[in-house]
Structure 1
Amino acid sequence: MTKSTKFKVAVVQAGSEIMDKEKGVAKTVCLIQEAATQQASIIVFPEAFIPAYPRGMSFGAVVGSRDSEGRKDFRQYWDNSITAPGPETQAIGKAAKQAGAYVVIGVIEKDSTGSQGTLYCTVLFFGPDGELLGKHRKLKPTGSERLIWGQGDGSTLPVFETPYGRLGALICWENYMPLARAAMYDKGIQIYVMPTADGRDTWTSTVRHVAAEGRCFVLSCNQYSTKSMYPEAISSRAEFQELPEEMSRGGSCIAGPLGELIVEPVYGEETILYAELDLDQIVEGQFDFDVAGHYARPDIFQLTVNEKAQKNVVWGN
């Protein structure tokens, strides 16, 4: 595989078409096409872009009870989540092929095998040939996310070899899991994608830390969304009255392998961030610090990663 040391990336900061997977796919395709006009070789979307990161929604749940209207909200969320592969991934793959770019996008995924009642917060990877290369399912949903999303396992921790370096992702607060980061570093990740729903100032510090620790480029991508983007026909709508109009302020950014910000965080708007990256900067950065190489001490510290898919029923021959 011929390497390109210099290439352009696009980080898409946009709001979801909330609870509408068809419109969500159409918006995704349009944004891929827009990024392609700027010759982006890697195009990144936020966490849960299709059909939504349901910020502010309670799904009618408090400790000890769930109400019927909240169950209807969950069913609507489930109805608009996608399978991978499926018709939605085919449409996104077609757009990736037309763009000639790698596309990394956060979705809410229904398992296509076995019980389909569980949803996963997933990142999908598409190649420039339009093929779905693979997926990563979030290992540990945070807080109330645990009510609506299941846990991924070690079978979806890929890092892909591309002409633009080794490409992989961890989602949002997974990046606060030191052992998860260590697994990515050991796989030689160079283009580290961080789809997120965290728009706090502290998140930028995390982005810079991961870039410096991993001596990699970090593409952090968050949504910009407002209350007006939410449909009226959800039971949680009444709960939004006390919430600010700006539900997710953005904060997407791009950091380099010494922890410097190549593109500063952008807040308060839908936009696409662009940057030209140079893989040679990773080697230069690893001169004095290679977290999985000369700076490791395997004689003292070792990590075991279980990459087997976990099944609750194992059928014999």
Structure 2
Amino acid sequence: MSKDFEIILAADIGGTRARFALFETGGGVRLAHRVELETARHASFAGLLQAALEALAGHGTVPSAAVLAVAGPVERGRFCRPPNIAYAMDLDTLEPGLLPAHSVLINDFAAQAHGCRLFGQERSQEVLPGAMDPSLTQAVLGPGTGLGKAALVPDGRGGYVVCGSEGGHAAFPFNGPEEQRFQDFVLEITGEPYVRWEGVVSGQGLALLHRFLSGRKVSPAEAEASLEASSPVCGWFARLLGRACRDYVLEVMATGGLFISGGVAARNPVLLEHPEFTNEFRLSATHARLLGNVPVRLVRDQDVGLWGAATVGAALLGRCP
């Protein structure tokens, strides 16, 4: 293979779906082939990788690097124990030769952040107006199986640093007696010591909210299917998502804008069109003006994380994406 043409294996492995793709380098990166698997159908990390590689093997290409974005905290680029996946991911225990020598794990929302920096403007739609400004800190947040967060921070040299977060596992701030009753409900159902952000602002949280308000136990997919702008579930979830976005923007001072990603938001833009989202996002006793100037965009393209992982792979090979 020509030294001007190499292949990168990129992955975006979430608690529900695992996307894998082969990208070609050379004048940037180009998506060549893509497969999508159900994460829970596989009993191990190695089994998931084998299934993905077999599905991609017919294309006759051997990757020179692999960047696997996973939904959890990554240690030294080699190990992750995702909170919403039944198995750990350890590159050092894989069969030799299964992946190329240049292989790393990165957090899934770090990959989302890299992808949003490249394509966020063109592959997203406006939620709240304003010009995204990459010279300032930008935030990326998204509800899916869990709740992911990352920040894009200028490095002072014209580039940026991606700062990951496990803030989805911090304690959720409930307000008022109605929300306190919901808090008690979630604690009783989950048995956890406190309600986490992603226990509320996620697909699982949406199903719990539906159960709390309607008395009917449903799956996350069923809860999504029943969302309507006029429903109490939609109003509640829009408010809680607005709170998640507001608090993270303030935590990292993301005055350059916020990208909202993640499957729940991407599939249900009605949540961001609801007035409860905007009202909660801009609600602040001290920084209402600052929040009123922060632009917000919804990333509908669910492959942005794959593109972000591919750009990290290109950097591993010394190639500018």
TM-score scaled by structure 2? 0.29
TM-score scaled by structure 1? 0.29
Q: Report the structure, 1 or 2, having the larger helix content.
A: 2
